[in-house]
């Protein structure tokens, strides 16, 4: 039998969490992305690699809701893609991902407080203690138990990214978006972060999109690897063609 048939059968049964059809993005004459179509199942870990200027970041910003597609369709669980960032999609950037004026504990706690205290964004009394306990659990989960009272500037780069992860995951997003999250870290610390990221993902099974420069990181962390590249190029008019997904590789993840 054709091995593609059972796979297609499974896909038909499981509605994809994310469906992207014939997506184009251009700024005026400059085409950045052309004709992107994708189905992503809930719980996939999608690594996105590609050269600089190949539209990875634009694609990432569209996933966030900061940019809207010029053409095509983007669906999240069957509904049109939200036009702005929201609590369904957590995010960790390479830098500036935590609030500098809050301690590590308060940085995680704010993710738990603001959905419950709409007016003041702050909990009091027993609700506050409860949020504190939950926040401490998250800090422990990312290995920051000893740093609850420290401000971000007192934490190393790796610790700040751990904090950013804890903060994002505390809000229980369906999708976690990572923009070069480990790009500024030393190799040893990066390996630790990979292990942490993988264990968090295996435990919670949220969907992950991770943009990275480091192709090895893309292969080792993801369950699926997307390569963005420009296939067509007009040397006289380099803006004419955008990038496409040139490789879409399923990866083993254990």
Partner 1 sequence: MKRLINQHPSRIGALLLATIPFIVIAILYFTASTERLAENPDDRLLPSIAQLIDGIQAAAFEEDPRTGDVILWMDTAASLERLAWGVGLSALLGLAFGVATGMLPLARAPLSPFISVLSLVPPMAILPILFIAFGLDELSKIVLIVLGVAPFIMRDLQQRVMEIPAEQLVKAQSLGMTSWQIALRVVLPQVLPRLTDSVRLSLGAAWIFLISAEAIAAEQGLGYRIFLVRRYMAMDTILPYVAWITLLAFLMDRALFALNRRAFPWLYNGRKAEEAA
- Choose among 200, 198, 192: nearest CA to 253: 198
The reply on whether position 118 binds partner 1 by CB under 8 A is yes
Angle 170-174-178 (CA atoms, 0-180°, nearest 5)?
A: 75
**Total residues interacting with partner 1, rule: CB under 8 A:** 37
In eight-state DSSP terms, residue 198 is H
Rg over alpha carbons for the chain, rounded to the nearest Å, is 20
Which residue has tokens 């059968």? 9
Residue of 19, 95, 134, 198 interacting with partner 1 (CB under 8 A): 95
The reply on whether position 110 binds partner 1 by CB under 8 A is yes
DSSP states of 129-181 as a string? HHHHHHHHHHHHHTT-GGGTT--GGGS-HHHHHHHHHHHHHHT--SEEEEEST
Residue of 96, 137, 149, 250 interacting with partner 1 (CB under 8 A): 96
Stretch that binds partner 1, among 9-17, 69-77, 84-92, 234-242 (CB under 8 A): 84-92
**CB 65 to partner 1: min, Å:** 8
The reply on whether position 120 binds partner 1 by CB under 8 A is yes
Which CB sits closer to partner 1, 162 or 230?
162
The reply on whether position 167 binds partner 1 by CB under 8 A is yes
The reply on whether position 149 binds partner 1 by CB under 8 A is no
Neighbouring C-beta atoms of residue 86, cutoff 10 Å: 11
The reply on whether position 83 binds partner 1 by CB under 8 A is no
**CB 232 to partner 1: min, Å:** 32
The whole-angstrom separation of Cα 21 and Cα 75 is 9
**Residues near partner 1 (CB under 8 A):** 64, 66, 84-87, 89-91, 93, 95-102, 110-111, 114-115, 118-122, 151-154, 164, 167-168, 171, 173, 177
């Amino acid at each position: 039998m054709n091995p593609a048939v059972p796979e297609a059968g499974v896909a038909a049964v499981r509605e994809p969490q994310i469906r992207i059809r014939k997506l184009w993005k251009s700024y005026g004459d400059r085409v950045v992305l052309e004709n992107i179509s994708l189905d992503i199942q809930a719980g996939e870990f999608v690594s996105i690699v590609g050269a600089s200027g190949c539209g990875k970041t634009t694609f990432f910003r569209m996933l966030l809701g900061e940019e809207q597609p010029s053409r095509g369709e983007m669906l999240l669980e069957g509904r049109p893609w939200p036009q702005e960032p929201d609590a369904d999609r957590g995010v960790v950037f390479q830098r500036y991902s935590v609030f500098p004026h809050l301690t590590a504990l308060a940085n995680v706690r704010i993710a738990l407080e603001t959905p419950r205290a709409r007016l003041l964004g702050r909990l009091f009394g027993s609700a506050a203690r409860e949020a504190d306990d939950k926040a401490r659990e998250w800090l422990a989960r990312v290995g920051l138990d000893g740093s609850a009272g420290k401000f971000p500037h007192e934490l190393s780069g790796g610790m700040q990214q751990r904090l950013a992860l804890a903060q994002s995951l505390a809000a229980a997003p369906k999708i976690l978006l990572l923009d070069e999250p480990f790009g500024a870290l030393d190799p040893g610390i990066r390996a630790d972060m990979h292990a942490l990221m993988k264990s968090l993902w295996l435990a919670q099974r949220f969907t992950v999109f991770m943009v990275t420069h480091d192709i090895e990181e893309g292969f080792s962390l993801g369950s699926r690897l997307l390569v963005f590249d420009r296939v067509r190029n007009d040397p006289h008019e380099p803006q004419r063609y955008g990038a496409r997904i040139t490789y879409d590789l399923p990866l083993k993840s254990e």
